[in-house]
Structures are given as structure tokens and as C-alpha cells.
Structure 1
């Protein structure tokens, strides 16, 4: 499992994930759980959806 996310991609995912989770908590909406996916992929630096698509933003 090699990293396939670049620095900008990871930053956008982490910030977006935090915002989605915060929105879910603030509005008491369970859909905020969706924010955990981009947050987790941003933190580990690997996106499983990029592999079959042949994408790699890591330099």
C-alpha cells in the first residue's frame, strides 16, 4: 500500500473531512459520518479508488 496522494490532495481531503464531520455534529445529522472517508484517506495518504483508475498525485 504505497502512498498515492500528494500534499495538496491530502490537505484538501483532511480539511473537507473535518468540515463534513463538524457539520454532521453541529446539525446532529448522521450523514456527517461520510466525512470520515476523506479524512481517513487524507491521513494515511492512500486512496483505494485511485488504484483502479491509475491515478497518482504523489510526486
Structure 2
């Protein structure tokens, strides 16, 4: 399966709410990394924070 199809099915970004410095996920929710290659190289993670400080 080509990477374009995988990206369309799985997406390439995620938004995770954070409350009091912790992920605000439901009981059965989690964050998983799926690698669809035989030889994974280095990755770069880009984090953008939006919100207010208390």
C-alpha cells in the first residue's frame, strides 16, 4: 500500500487536549505510533501548543 493511501486512512496529525499538564483522554483512548516500513529512519516531531496559561 502506498504512503498516500496510508496517510489518507490514518491521517498525519492529531490534536490532544491537555488539562492541568496531563493528556485529557477518555477511558479507552490512547496515543499510538504505527511504523509502516521495514527500516524506519529518524523522525522529527513537531508540537504546536495553543491555549491559555492560568
Task: Give me the TM-score of the superposition, normalised by structure 2.
Answer: 0.31
Larger Rg: 2
Higher percent of residues as helix:
1
Which structure has the higher relative contact order (CA within 8 Å, separation 6+)? Answer: 1
Task: Give me the TM-score of the superposition, normalised by structure 1.
Answer: 0.30
